[in-house]
Amino acid sequence: MKPTLFSAAFVALVGAAATAAPARALPPAPTDTIVVRLPNKATMTLVVRDARQLRELPQYHLDSLVARLGGYIRRADDAAKSAKTDRVTTQFFPNQDNPGQGLPEEVRITTHKAKAGYSGAYGPSNKVEVLLEKKFGVVVNIDGKSNDQPRAAASRADRQAERDSMRQARWDRKSSSTDFIFDLGLNALTNKGGANQPELRTFGSRYVNLGFNYKQRLGGRRSPLYLVGGPEFAFNNYMLEGNNKWVNVNGLTAVISETSGRQYQKTKLATSTFTVPLMFQLNLRDDHQHHTLTLGAGGFVGYRLGSWTKLKYFEEGSTYKDKDYGSYNLTDWQYGLQGVLGYKSLTFFAKYNLNDLFRDGHGPQAQTLSFGVRFFGN
């Protein structure tokens, strides 16, 4: 049957049902179903909530929809032949692909692989489900047997296969995304040289990073490769071991020991930095389309927003906290390498600053290594 004949018969059916509906408002009623059996033994089911939905059907240009269904079904059939499971659900979005043409919001096709001895063009139980703005649907079944025969309930494997294919369809559509990230870790100083080098307290020298990562898929719709970038705000703490403190004297930043007898509980240098990363990242998934391995590598650039020192000590029965803001001869521009490695929901990160922590000749010679766990984002 040609698409125009199919569409004309369908619209005539809709018009007749809408005309027969009472003009007065009706109380909410259960969902109604209209079944149309076609000469080729296909069954078309129309599901609506009320007569108003019936009257709205002509605006969706069903003749254009029917003309597209042939291509959609062929693509779904090709996907089923190459799939690992016996049942595959494929989603299409005509209205998104061609906005402003009154096309349906979603076409969902569930296809089975043809069984041995079956001579049909498609699998033994294909289903075309059309959602018009998610208000009502049209379902077409094409069966190798009579439509009067009851269908067996879907097996657990079939239900899982349908969920997997639906999840795959969502990933295929989602070529980009924006994730909030939260990193928590530690700082260490590397490539230290010269005298009077600072010794950091390991668990006191914390690193915190907040930001948004924008991911753009590179390659085809099933490519696992993404380009990642976005604004981030990093906070680095460099807490000293022993009874030492950071000082800025005569334009030089150094670490000295306290000689007045005061005992420090905490002595740290802290910085805040705005950074922009740029990484290539692989996001791999298993057969059920769940995240498995995340692997990313790239670089970053940034600029120091602020810095300060903080001293905490106990004296004469009271606790004091002295805070002093200043540049402390820290390098303003930051740049370096970074990477992430994750498995499922657990992701680790590492960042290595190629720039020196302090300006050349104005402080201890060292570079920063930050590492830890990413709690949000991947």
User: Amino acid identity of 158?
Assistant: D
Per-residue pLDDT at 155: 63
In 3-state terms, what secondary structure has residue 316? coil
pLDDT tens, position by position, 98-128: 777 767 777 777 776 655 544 444 444 566 6
Region 157-186: mean pLDDT is 79
- 3-class secondary structure, 135: coil
Q: What is the DSSP string of 248-291?
A: EETTEEEEEE--SS--EEEEEEEEEEEEEEEEEEEEEE-TTS-E
Q: Which of 6-20, 227-241, 323-337 has the lowest mean pLDDT?
A: 6-20
Residue 16 predicted with pLDDT over 50: no
101 or 255, higher pLDDT: 255
Q: What per-residue confidence (pLDDT) applies to 146?
A: 41
The answer to whether 304 touches 358, Cβ cutoff 8 Å, is: no
Higher pLDDT, 374 or 48: 374
Which of residues 154 and 370 earns the better pLDDT score? 370
The stretches of 117-229 forming alpha helices (DSSP H) are: 156-173
Provide the 10 A C-beta neighbour count for residue 12. 10
The Cα-based distances of 311 to 50, 96, 239, 247 in angstroms read 72, 59, 10, 11
Dist CA 224 CA 229 (whole Å): 16
Measured distance CA(265)–CA(268) in Å, rounded: 10
Q: In the predicted model, is pLDDT for residue 137 greater than 50?
A: yes
Mean pLDDT of the chain: 79
Cα–Cα distance, 230 to 212 (Å, whole number): 6
What pLDDT was estimated at residue 15?
44
Backbone region of residue 151 per phi and psi (left: phi > 0; alpha: psi in -120 to 50; beta: other values)? beta
Output 219 or 87, whichever has higher pLDDT. Answer: 219
Q: How many CA atoms lie within 13 A of 142 on its CB side?
A: 19
Measured CA to CA, the distance from residue 286 to residue 32 in angstroms comes to 40
Which one, of 23, 45, 27, lies nearest residue 36 by Cα? 45
Bridge partners, residue 324, by sequence = 309
The pLDDT tens digits of the residues spanning 256-286 come to: 998 888 899 999 999 999 999 999 999 998 8
Per DSSP, helices labelled H in the chain are 3-20, 51-56, 62-82, 94-97, 156-173
Q: CA-to-CA distance for 132 and 91, rounded, in angstroms?
A: 13
Please, is 100 exposed, middle or buried when counting C-beta atoms within 10 Å of its C-beta (0-12, 13-18, 19+)? exposed
Closest among 212, 108, 225 to 175, alpha carbons compared: 225
Q: Let me know if 209 is exposed, middle or buried by CB neighbors in 10 A (0-12, 13-18, 19+).
A: buried
pLDDT of residue 203: 93
Positive or negative: CA dihedral 314, 315, 321, 326:
negative
Give residue-wise pLDDT tens across range 173-217. Answer: 778 899 999 999 999 999 987 767 889 999 999 999 999 999 999
Span 81-90, mean pLDDT?
74
Does the pLDDT value for residue 4 go beyond 50? no
- How would residue 25 be classed by pLDDT, with cut points 50, 70 and 90? very low
- Exposed, middle or buried by CB within 10 Å (0-12, 13-18, 19+), for 156? exposed
DSSP E strands, the chain: 32-37, 43-48, 87-92, 106-112, 125-132, 136-143, 176-193, 206-217, 225-229, 232-239, 244-249, 252-257, 264-285, 291-315, 318-325, 333-343, 346-353, 365-376
Q: Within 10 Å of residue 89's Cβ, how many Cβ atoms?
A: 22
Q: Provide the token pair at 337.
A: 């390498």
Tell me what the mean pLDDT of segment 150-171 comes to.
63
Dump pLDDT digits (tens) for 341-367: 999 889 999 999 999 999 998 999 999
pLDDT of res. 78: 76
- C-alpha span between 370 and 127 (Å, rounded): 53
Cα torsion 63, 64, 70, 73: sign: negative
Cβ-proximal residues to 121 (8 Å cutoff; 6+ apart), any chain: 77
Average pLDDT over residues 71-81: 76
Residue 240 near residue 226, CB atoms below 8 Å:
no
